[in-house]
Amino acid sequence: MLRKIRIILAAVMFIAVTMLFLDFTGTLHKWLGWTAKIQFFPAVLALNAGIVVSLAVLTLLFGRIYCSVVCPLGIMQDIISWAHGRTRKKNRFRFSWSPAKNLLRYGILAVFIVLILAGFVSLAALIEPYSAFGRIAGDLLAPVYRWGNNLLAYFAERAGSYAFYTTEVWVKSMTVPLVAAVTFIVLFILAWKNGRTYCNTVCPVGSILGGLSRFSLFRPVIDTDKCRDCGLCGRQCKASCINMKEHEIDYNRCVACFDCIDTCREGAIKYRPVWKTASRQETEADAGQDNGRRAFLASAALAVTAVAVKAQEMKVDGGLAAIQEKKAPARKTPLKPAGSESLRHFSAHCTACQLCVSVCPNQVLRPSGNLMTLMQPEMSFEKGWCRPECTRCSEICPSGPISPVTAAEKTSIRIGHAVIVYDYCVVNTDGVSCGNCARHCPTGAVKMIRSVAGDKTSLLIPTVLEESCIGCGACEYLCPARPLSAIYVEGHEVHTHI
């Protein structure tokens, strides 16, 4: 019973976190955004002491419940391992006791901590479980999900229904899908062959929580009086932490999956408080233990509200002329979303999980290729511009690089300023009137002046009032010049307010 409830909770959490990265309508994150914010590493970077302390206390009480119920990467490995077990009809029990590789494990943890302290958070996040899963979901699963949606939209339209609408699928960066693919392949092989090898050898979160779980108050205990030395529990343990010869469990590596309890045919393994000793006469103790289990499961239950995603009608401008694609300008300073405070603050807290990239409705955010900020999101305006009323990235960000801001606050935050390259402006290159940048600037920071001072017959060209510009990118996106816009946004290292 305990294992079944754990599986249900894990399935709900896994689906909820995965849908955060797949949903392109922007509706689910309002209901399920908390599932990203309770992940361990994002909570640490966000300095969210309440979440970190709660997870630590949960581990000290019940063991590594986080790894088996909350962590999406751990649950994904369980799914892969379970699928392999289903293919082995004759011998489902394929695991065996393996001594802990503590030197390797804590060596990786030390390197992980050093990288964070040195400012290489994006490199450290390569092995962090939530960030790794985010890249897999956002860059491998999301395109497939969107293609499936577009296929449904295609058939629905021909049936006279507009319940679905098509959405663009494009590769924002080659780096992230490549890293995500390599990560998934490695994890798939490890989970397929050896279950939780990654969690107990590589994962820094697993190493930290494993150290705490050694002192957990509730844990699986082997009753040597009932044990018949059949070895089924050890061969079913995907963490390889049950030493049947010594009748011992390595609680440092145990992920509290309860598979061993469900497998034991003699009832020799019980999930019990450490202060209770095993004996043959334990009717009353078992009853009390069951009540404790129910209390724990009730307190740990994850309530996820089912949300019906209402498709919205999308209007796409038609046209027969082929339009040359825009190219990103060479910005001296990268652009970060409103709420980031500064480049330094952003790079020190971002886990490169790609969640903000996934939820950005205007396709402004895309991963960085710079080594220092590898895969951390940056802003660019070839596909859209950052609308002042949109605050989705600040609402969904789990680790604190983008602080929550309101739409009113966003309109006064200067993340950059517009720069004009008159050599590219169609007024000069084609001798035609334009003014697109000035018409669409939401803050009135772009003004049109005569190209020849004092000549009222000369064409109008744009000029920028930097003190009024917030760096939203409307001018850059809507500039008709190709392939480079005649006006582009240069980022600010430290964000200021108008």
Same domain? 172 vs 87: yes
- Last-in-domain residue among 243, 273, 300: 300
Q: What is the value of pTM for the model shown?
A: 0.80
394 and 287 together in one domain: no
169 located within any domain? yes
Q: Specify whether 262 is located in the same domain as 354.
A: no
In order of 71, 86, 295, 361, the CA distances from 189 in angstroms are: 19, 16, 37, 35
* In a domain? residue 308: no
248 and 356 together in one domain: no
CATH number where 408 lies:
3.30.70.20
- Quick check: is 329 in a domain? no
Question: Could you say which of 300, 335, 352 is where a domain stops?
Answer: 300
Same domain assignment for residues 238 and 356: no
Tell me if 443 is assigned to some domain. Answer: yes
How big is the chain, counted in residues? 498
d(CA 168, CA 166): 7
Both 296 and 347 in a single domain?
Answer: no
Residue pair 40/209 in contact (Cβ under 8 Å)? The answer is yes
| Residue-level pLDDT at 280 | 41
**Do 257 and 363 belong together in one domain?**
no
**What is the count of structural domains for the chain?**
2
Is there a single domain that holds both residue 295 and residue 363? no
Question: Residue 165: helix, strand or coil by DSSP?
Answer: coil
Residue 326 lies in a domain: no
Assess whether 244 and 351 both reside in one domain. no
Do residue 294 and residue 356 come from a single domain? no
Asked if residues 58 and 214 have their Cβ atoms less than 8 Å apart, the reply is no
**376 and 287 assigned to the same domain:** no
Among 300, 332, 360, give the residue marking a domain's end: 300
pLDDT value, residue 324: 78
Neighbouring residues of 8: CB distance < 8 A, sequence distance ≥ 6: none
Same domain, residue pair 185 and 272: yes
The answer as to whether 325 is a domain residue is no
Distance (Å, whole) CA 374 – CA 379: 14
CA-CA distances (angstroms) from residue 176 to 40, 137, 172? 22, 11, 9
On whether residue 338 sits in a domain, the answer given is no
Q: What is the pLDDT of residue 144?
A: 93
Q: Tell me which residue range forms the domain holding 379.
A: 343-497
pLDDT of the chain, 498 residues: tens digit per residue: 788 999 999 999 999 999 999 988 878 888 888 999 999 999 999 989 999 999 999 999 999 999 999 999 999 999 999 988 877 665 566 788 989 899 999 999 999 999 999 888 989 999 999 999 999 999 999 999 999 999 998 998 888 888 888 888 887 888 889 999 999 999 999 999 889 999 999 999 999 999 999 999 999 999 888 898 888 898 889 999 999 888 899 999 999 999 999 889 888 999 988 876 544 434 444 444 444 444 434 434 333 223 223 323 333 344 445 567 889 999 999 999 999 999 999 999 999 999 999 989 999 999 998 888 889 999 999 999 999 999 999 999 999 999 999 999 999 999 999 999 999 999 999 999 999 999 999 999 999 999 888 888 899 999 999 999 999 999 999 999 999 999 999 999 999 998
Q: Give a yes or no: residue 330 inside a domain.
A: no
